[in-house]
Homo-oligomer: A and B are copies of this chain.
Amino acid sequence: MKHMRYKICVIGLGLMGASLAKALKGFRNAEISGADTDEYTREKALYTGAVSRASHDAADVAADANLLVFCVYPRHVPEILERCAPKISDGAVISDICGVKTGLYERITPLIPKNADYVGAHPMAGRERDGIDHADRDLFKGTGFIVCPLPSTKSSSVSLMSDVARHIGATKLAVAPAGLHDQIIAYTSDLMHIAAAALCMDYHPGMTSAYTAGAFRDCTRIGDINAEAWTELLMGNSDNTVSVLERYMGRLSEVRDALREGDAARLTALLELGGANKRAMLGR
């Protein structure tokens, strides 16, 4: 049997997909192809060398891939996977980079072809602006990367995605099933985005930049997020997110009560708890 060149197919060439394609360069000396429905995106992906082949139809480029990675909105994954499934090669590994897993895995589990293995991933990277124009091969340098196996996922596929993570420059790796992943992400990502967005939903009409310093800059940095993408992410993890959000609101109520009642000792204790946890989290 002839030795075939390793083939990777990235489905969706927006910010994340195009950045991943660029960062994957050199991984197992692979040929990297891509699919995107947008013509400008395909042309830019070819022109910048992110992919060596591009199609508007995922099933086209998926046919001979050893590794397929879905880099599209979660809601589009099942339909595209269904169309690609009959063409997928024996032994292929299928992955995605969606930020919420439980609901996605429920929908795709019945669609995974018998001759392939599935292992999701969540690179903890992003930009404030979307699209291939913001793609960057260094997007994943020094970031976290979570591999999310299904119960049926082969350990060789978990190893493959760990290799991918290291190749693209991620330095903090974790492996977690979908449920645990979604619970933790509800805190480390979903809650942070809600907190920042809500901080921007009202502001004092008399304020100018003279009144702002690092606290304002950092707490509101992600206040202007892609509302459509984040609605989908948050709705897809709504139970976990509501749970951490209510706990957060409970803490804010405690602070509010301490302030209203002039209970300085209680307020100091709450702020000290936050500080102690912050220091503990830095060491994890």
Contacts and interface: CB of A to CB of B under 8 A. Distances in A.
Interface in A255-281: 255-256, 259-260, 262, 264, 267-275, 277-279, 281
A172 B242 contact: no
23 contacts: A143-B213, A172-B210, A184-B206, A188-B216, A189-B216, A192-B220, A196-B219, A198-B255, A198-B270, A199-B248, A201-B273, A224-B278, A224-B279, A225-B274, A231-B271, A234-B259, A234-B267, A235-B259, A241-B259, A242-B259, A245-B252, A245-B259, A249-B253
A211 to B, nearest CB: 5
Contact of A195 (B195, B228, B256): B195
A213 B259 CA distance: 32
Nearest to A165: B210
A146 B193 CA distance: 30
Residue in A185, A224, A225 with the greatest tally of chain B CB atoms within 10 Å? A224
Contact of A210 (B145, B218, B231, B234): B145
B212 A188 contact: yes
B224 A275 contact: yes
Given A200-B278, A277-B202, A208 B284 contact: yes
Nearest to A261: B238
A215 B189 contact: yes
Contact of A272 (B145, B215, B227): B227
State the copy count for this chain: 2
Contacts of A120: none
A173 interface: yes
A31 to B, nearest CB: 30
A209 to B, nearest CB: 5
Most buried by B among A235, A271, A284: A271
Interface string A61-72: 000000000000
Highest count of chain B CB atoms <10 Å: which of A191, A195, A211, A241: A211
A2 B193 CA distance: 63
Contact of A219 (B192, B211, B216, B269): B192
Contacts of A180: 206
B208 A192 contact: no
Contacts of A228: 268
A262 B125 CA distance: 27
Given A207-B284, A246-B256, A251-B198, A277 B144 contact: no
A160 interface: no
A6 interface: no
